[in-house]
Amino acid sequence: MCRDAAAPFNSNRADIVLRSSDDVYFRVYRCLLALASPFFDSMFDLPQPQARSAHEEMHNGLEVIPVTENSRVLDMLLRFCYPATIDDHRLENAVDVEGVLEAAIKYGMEEVERSVRRTLLEPSILEKETLHVFAIAYRFRYEAEAGAAATCLLRQPAPTANPTTLKYISQGDLRNLAVYRTKCVQAVLALGNNLAWFQQKESYGFFKWWTNCCMCTQRADARYLMHGAYAREWWAEYMEETLAILQETPCAAAVHQNMQKALEWAGGCTFCRRKSQPYMLDFVQRFAEAVDEAVAGVSAYLLVRRWPP
Protein backbone atom coordinates (compact mmCIF):
# COMPACT_ATOMS: atom_id res chain seq x y z
CA MET A 1 0.00 0.00 0.00
CA CYS A 2 1.42 3.38 -1.03
CA ARG A 3 2.08 6.03 1.61
CA ASP A 4 3.96 9.29 2.06
CA ALA A 5 7.32 9.44 3.81
CA ALA A 6 7.76 11.13 7.16
CA ALA A 7 9.10 14.68 7.55
CA PRO A 8 11.07 16.30 6.10
CA PHE A 9 10.27 14.30 2.96
CA ASN A 10 6.59 15.22 2.84
CA SER A 11 6.85 18.94 2.12
CA ASN A 12 4.17 20.50 -0.09
CA ARG A 13 6.89 22.77 -1.50
CA ALA A 14 8.92 19.89 -2.93
CA ASP A 15 9.12 19.66 -6.71
CA ILE A 16 9.89 15.97 -7.39
CA VAL A 17 8.93 12.63 -5.85
CA LEU A 18 11.07 9.54 -5.36
CA ARG A 19 9.15 6.29 -4.92
CA SER A 20 10.97 3.58 -2.95
CA SER A 21 10.81 -0.11 -3.83
CA ASP A 22 8.25 -0.62 -1.06
CA ASP A 23 6.02 2.17 -2.43
CA VAL A 24 6.78 5.05 -0.09
CA TYR A 25 6.66 8.50 -1.72
CA PHE A 26 9.48 10.93 -0.81
CA ARG A 27 8.79 14.53 -1.79
CA VAL A 28 12.17 16.15 -2.31
CA TYR A 29 13.81 19.15 -3.96
CA ARG A 30 15.49 18.81 -7.33
CA CYS A 31 18.16 21.35 -6.42
CA LEU A 32 19.30 19.37 -3.35
CA LEU A 33 19.41 16.10 -5.27
CA ALA A 34 21.30 17.74 -8.14
CA LEU A 35 23.87 19.23 -5.76
CA ALA A 36 24.45 15.90 -4.03
CA SER A 37 24.35 13.62 -7.06
CA PRO A 38 25.71 14.04 -10.60
CA PHE A 39 23.35 11.20 -11.57
CA PHE A 40 20.27 13.24 -10.68
CA ASP A 41 21.88 16.43 -11.94
CA SER A 42 22.24 14.89 -15.39
CA MET A 43 18.72 13.44 -15.25
CA PHE A 44 17.18 16.83 -14.46
CA ASP A 45 19.20 18.43 -17.28
CA LEU A 46 17.55 16.23 -19.89
CA PRO A 47 14.94 18.00 -22.07
CA GLN A 48 11.45 17.39 -20.76
CA PRO A 49 8.68 16.40 -23.22
CA GLN A 50 5.97 18.99 -23.89
CA ALA A 51 3.17 16.52 -23.20
CA ARG A 52 3.22 13.96 -20.43
CA SER A 53 2.99 10.29 -21.31
CA ALA A 54 -0.05 8.34 -20.21
CA HIS A 55 2.32 5.89 -18.51
CA GLU A 56 4.20 8.59 -16.58
CA GLU A 57 3.52 8.27 -12.86
CA MET A 58 2.40 11.34 -10.95
CA HIS A 59 1.78 11.91 -7.24
CA ASN A 60 -0.10 14.99 -6.06
CA GLY A 61 0.79 16.73 -9.32
CA LEU A 62 4.51 15.92 -9.13
CA GLU A 63 6.58 13.67 -11.37
CA VAL A 64 7.52 10.37 -9.71
CA ILE A 65 10.94 8.73 -10.14
CA PRO A 66 10.93 5.07 -9.03
CA VAL A 67 14.14 3.87 -7.37
CA THR A 68 15.28 0.41 -6.30
CA GLU A 69 16.14 1.34 -2.69
CA ASN A 70 13.65 0.52 0.05
CA SER A 71 12.20 3.31 2.18
CA ARG A 72 14.58 2.78 5.10
CA VAL A 73 17.70 3.09 2.93
CA LEU A 74 16.25 5.99 0.94
CA ASP A 75 15.34 7.89 4.10
CA MET A 76 18.85 7.51 5.50
CA LEU A 77 20.47 8.42 2.17
CA LEU A 78 18.39 11.58 1.71
CA ARG A 79 19.16 12.78 5.24
CA PHE A 80 22.79 13.12 4.19
CA CYS A 81 21.64 15.40 1.35
CA TYR A 82 19.48 17.73 3.45
CA PRO A 83 21.39 20.42 5.41
CA ALA A 84 18.85 20.38 8.25
CA THR A 85 19.12 16.62 8.76
CA ILE A 86 22.80 15.97 8.02
CA ASP A 87 23.48 15.15 11.69
CA ASP A 88 20.45 12.86 11.92
CA HIS A 89 22.02 9.85 10.21
CA ARG A 90 20.48 7.03 12.21
CA LEU A 91 22.83 4.40 10.81
CA GLU A 92 22.25 1.81 13.49
CA ASN A 93 24.03 -1.23 12.14
CA ALA A 94 26.23 -2.61 9.37
CA VAL A 95 23.22 -3.46 7.21
CA ASP A 96 22.21 0.22 7.23
CA VAL A 97 25.74 1.32 6.40
CA GLU A 98 26.03 -1.14 3.53
CA GLY A 99 22.66 -0.15 2.04
CA VAL A 100 23.41 3.58 2.13
CA LEU A 101 26.94 3.07 0.78
CA GLU A 102 25.59 1.05 -2.13
CA ALA A 103 23.06 3.76 -2.96
CA ALA A 104 25.57 6.61 -2.54
CA ILE A 105 28.02 4.94 -4.92
CA LYS A 106 25.24 4.14 -7.39
CA TYR A 107 24.15 7.80 -7.55
CA GLY A 108 27.69 9.21 -7.46
CA MET A 109 27.22 10.92 -4.08
CA GLU A 110 30.90 11.14 -3.16
CA GLU A 111 30.46 13.35 -0.09
CA VAL A 112 27.77 11.05 1.25
CA GLU A 113 29.97 8.03 0.58
CA ARG A 114 32.85 9.60 2.53
CA SER A 115 30.59 10.40 5.48
CA VAL A 116 29.03 6.95 5.57
CA ARG A 117 32.39 5.25 5.12
CA ARG A 118 33.61 6.86 8.34
CA THR A 119 30.85 5.13 10.29
CA LEU A 120 32.44 1.75 9.51
CA LEU A 121 35.11 2.64 12.08
CA GLU A 122 32.68 3.78 14.79
CA PRO A 123 33.02 1.40 17.78
CA SER A 124 29.25 0.84 17.97
CA ILE A 125 29.40 -0.84 14.56
CA LEU A 126 33.00 -1.99 14.15
CA GLU A 127 33.20 -3.81 17.49
CA LYS A 128 29.72 -5.36 17.35
CA GLU A 129 29.63 -6.43 13.68
CA THR A 130 33.29 -6.76 12.88
CA LEU A 131 33.11 -9.52 10.30
CA HIS A 132 30.29 -7.77 8.44
CA VAL A 133 32.33 -4.55 8.45
CA PHE A 134 35.25 -6.49 6.98
CA ALA A 135 32.97 -7.88 4.27
CA ILE A 136 31.64 -4.39 3.46
CA ALA A 137 35.14 -2.92 3.32
CA TYR A 138 36.26 -5.76 1.10
CA ARG A 139 33.25 -5.34 -1.19
CA PHE A 140 33.84 -1.61 -1.70
CA ARG A 141 37.66 -1.89 -1.72
CA TYR A 142 38.23 0.18 1.42
CA GLU A 143 41.74 -0.91 2.39
CA ALA A 144 42.08 1.03 5.66
CA GLU A 145 38.69 -0.15 6.93
CA ALA A 146 39.40 -3.76 5.93
CA GLY A 147 42.67 -3.64 7.87
CA ALA A 148 40.98 -2.08 10.92
CA ALA A 149 38.27 -4.74 10.88
CA ALA A 150 40.85 -7.52 10.52
CA THR A 151 42.72 -6.18 13.56
CA CYS A 152 39.49 -5.83 15.54
CA LEU A 153 38.64 -9.45 14.73
CA LEU A 154 41.71 -10.47 16.73
CA ARG A 155 39.79 -9.56 19.90
CA GLN A 156 37.25 -12.28 19.12
CA PRO A 157 37.49 -16.03 18.51
CA ALA A 158 38.41 -16.90 14.93
CA PRO A 159 35.44 -16.14 12.63
CA THR A 160 33.68 -18.75 10.54
CA ALA A 161 32.12 -18.31 7.12
CA ASN A 162 28.48 -17.24 6.87
CA PRO A 163 26.21 -16.18 4.00
CA THR A 164 26.87 -12.47 4.59
CA THR A 165 30.62 -12.73 4.25
CA LEU A 166 30.60 -15.29 1.45
CA LYS A 167 28.40 -12.96 -0.59
CA TYR A 168 31.38 -10.68 -1.20
CA ILE A 169 34.51 -12.59 -0.19
CA SER A 170 35.57 -16.10 -1.11
CA GLN A 171 36.68 -19.01 1.01
CA GLY A 172 40.20 -18.25 -0.21
CA ASP A 173 39.97 -14.70 1.11
CA LEU A 174 38.77 -16.05 4.45
CA ARG A 175 41.81 -18.31 4.45
CA ASN A 176 43.96 -15.20 3.96
CA LEU A 177 42.23 -13.72 6.98
CA ALA A 178 43.12 -16.89 8.91
CA VAL A 179 46.74 -16.61 7.74
CA TYR A 180 46.86 -13.01 8.97
CA ARG A 181 45.49 -14.12 12.32
CA THR A 182 48.05 -16.94 12.57
CA LYS A 183 50.90 -14.52 11.88
CA CYS A 184 49.60 -12.20 14.60
CA VAL A 185 49.40 -15.12 17.05
CA GLN A 186 52.98 -16.10 16.25
CA ALA A 187 54.18 -12.53 16.72
CA VAL A 188 52.57 -12.08 20.16
CA LEU A 189 53.52 -15.54 21.44
CA ALA A 190 57.14 -14.75 20.60
CA LEU A 191 56.98 -12.01 23.22
CA GLY A 192 56.29 -14.61 25.90
CA ASN A 193 59.05 -16.93 24.76
CA ASN A 194 61.78 -14.32 25.08
CA LEU A 195 61.55 -11.39 27.49
CA ALA A 196 64.51 -9.51 26.04
CA TRP A 197 62.08 -6.86 24.75
CA PHE A 198 61.01 -6.12 28.32
CA GLN A 199 64.50 -6.04 29.81
CA GLN A 200 65.30 -3.15 27.50
CA LYS A 201 62.44 -1.13 29.03
CA GLU A 202 62.25 -2.25 32.64
CA SER A 203 62.85 0.12 35.52
CA TYR A 204 65.54 -0.27 38.16
CA GLY A 205 62.79 -0.83 40.72
CA PHE A 206 61.49 -3.79 38.72
CA PHE A 207 65.02 -5.21 38.48
CA LYS A 208 65.41 -5.01 42.26
CA TRP A 209 62.01 -6.62 42.84
CA TRP A 210 62.66 -9.40 40.32
CA THR A 211 66.04 -10.35 41.78
CA ASN A 212 65.06 -9.99 45.43
CA CYS A 213 64.66 -13.25 47.32
CA CYS A 214 61.34 -14.08 48.96
CA MET A 215 59.41 -17.14 50.14
CA CYS A 216 57.82 -17.70 46.69
CA THR A 217 58.64 -20.85 44.77
CA GLN A 218 60.43 -20.17 41.51
CA ARG A 219 59.71 -21.92 38.23
CA ALA A 220 62.80 -23.09 36.37
CA ASP A 221 61.57 -22.04 32.95
CA ALA A 222 64.24 -20.51 30.72
CA ARG A 223 61.65 -18.39 28.92
CA TYR A 224 61.15 -16.36 32.09
CA LEU A 225 64.79 -16.15 33.16
CA MET A 226 65.89 -12.54 33.67
CA HIS A 227 69.04 -11.25 35.36
CA GLY A 228 69.96 -14.76 36.41
CA ALA A 229 66.71 -15.24 38.35
CA TYR A 230 63.74 -17.42 37.43
CA ALA A 231 60.19 -16.13 37.68
CA ARG A 232 58.09 -16.61 40.77
CA GLU A 233 55.59 -19.46 40.34
CA TRP A 234 52.55 -17.18 40.42
CA TRP A 235 54.08 -14.87 37.82
CA ALA A 236 54.94 -17.80 35.55
CA GLU A 237 51.39 -19.08 35.93
CA TYR A 238 50.09 -15.67 34.88
CA MET A 239 52.27 -15.85 31.76
CA GLU A 240 51.11 -19.39 30.91
CA GLU A 241 47.44 -18.47 31.16
CA THR A 242 47.93 -15.20 29.29
CA LEU A 243 49.78 -16.88 26.43
CA ALA A 244 46.93 -19.37 26.13
CA ILE A 245 44.46 -16.49 25.86
CA LEU A 246 46.67 -14.72 23.32
CA GLN A 247 46.64 -17.83 21.19
CA GLU A 248 42.86 -17.49 20.88
CA THR A 249 42.62 -13.69 20.87
CA PRO A 250 45.96 -12.07 19.99
CA CYS A 251 45.26 -8.56 21.24
CA ALA A 252 46.37 -6.22 24.02
CA ALA A 253 43.16 -6.70 26.02
CA ALA A 254 44.07 -10.36 26.58
CA VAL A 255 47.13 -9.33 28.60
CA HIS A 256 44.98 -7.63 31.25
CA GLN A 257 42.52 -10.46 31.83
CA ASN A 258 44.43 -12.41 34.49
CA MET A 259 46.35 -9.60 36.17
CA GLN A 260 44.07 -9.39 39.21
CA LYS A 261 44.15 -13.17 39.56
CA ALA A 262 47.95 -13.07 39.54
CA LEU A 263 48.02 -10.45 42.28
CA GLU A 264 45.73 -12.64 44.38
CA TRP A 265 48.18 -15.52 43.94
CA ALA A 266 51.01 -13.18 44.96
CA GLY A 267 49.14 -12.37 48.18
CA GLY A 268 50.35 -15.64 49.67
CA CYS A 269 53.80 -14.11 50.05
CA THR A 270 54.29 -11.22 52.50
CA PHE A 271 56.98 -9.60 50.35
CA CYS A 272 55.05 -9.97 47.09
CA ARG A 273 51.82 -8.80 48.68
CA ARG A 274 53.52 -5.52 49.61
CA LYS A 275 55.75 -5.02 46.58
CA SER A 276 54.29 -6.77 43.53
CA GLN A 277 51.36 -4.63 42.47
CA PRO A 278 53.18 -1.61 40.95
CA TYR A 279 55.68 -3.82 39.15
CA MET A 280 52.99 -6.16 37.87
CA LEU A 281 51.02 -3.17 36.59
CA ASP A 282 54.14 -1.85 34.89
CA PHE A 283 54.86 -5.20 33.24
CA VAL A 284 51.28 -5.72 32.04
CA GLN A 285 51.14 -2.23 30.56
CA ARG A 286 54.40 -2.74 28.68
CA PHE A 287 53.31 -6.22 27.63
CA ALA A 288 50.06 -4.80 26.19
CA GLU A 289 52.01 -2.12 24.29
CA ALA A 290 54.37 -4.78 22.93
CA VAL A 291 51.39 -6.86 21.75
CA ASP A 292 49.98 -3.84 19.92
CA GLU A 293 53.34 -3.23 18.28
CA ALA A 294 53.70 -6.89 17.30
CA VAL A 295 50.25 -6.95 15.69
CA ALA A 296 50.90 -3.65 13.91
CA GLY A 297 54.05 -5.20 12.49
CA VAL A 298 52.06 -7.91 10.72
CA SER A 299 51.01 -6.62 7.33
CA ALA A 300 47.33 -6.82 6.51
CA TYR A 301 48.14 -6.20 2.85
CA LEU A 302 47.48 -9.82 1.89
CA LEU A 303 43.85 -9.28 2.85
CA VAL A 304 43.24 -6.67 0.17
CA ARG A 305 45.88 -7.32 -2.47
CA ARG A 306 43.41 -9.06 -4.75
CA TRP A 307 40.21 -7.05 -4.88
CA PRO A 308 37.12 -8.57 -6.47
CA PRO A 309 36.55 -7.52 -10.10
Summarize pLDDT for 106-129 with one digit per residue, the tens: 999 999 999 999 999 999 999 999
192-250 pLDDT, tens digit per residue, is: 999 989 988 888 888 998 998 888 999 999 999 998 999 999 999 999 999 999 999 99
At residue 169, the pLDDT reads: 73
Spatial CB neighbours of 45, under 8 Å, sequence gap ≥ 6: none
Phi-psi region of 234 (alpha: psi -120 to 50; beta: other; left: phi over 0): alpha
pLDDT at 75 over 90: yes
**β-bridge mates for residue 80, sequence order:** none
At residue 160, the pLDDT reads: 75
Spatial CB neighbours of 98, under 8 Å, sequence gap ≥ 6: 132, 136, 139
pLDDT at 164 over 70: no
Mean pLDDT, residues 27-44 = 93
Distance CA 236, CA 219 (A): 7
Q: What is the overall mean pLDDT for the chain? A: 88
Contact indicator for 210, 226 with CB cutoff of 8 Å: yes
pLDDT at 78 over 60: yes
At residue 162, the pLDDT reads: 72
Note the pTM of the prediction, 2 decimals.
Answer: 0.81
pLDDT at 190 over 90: yes
Mean pLDDT, residues 241-266 = 94
DSSP one-letter code for 226: B
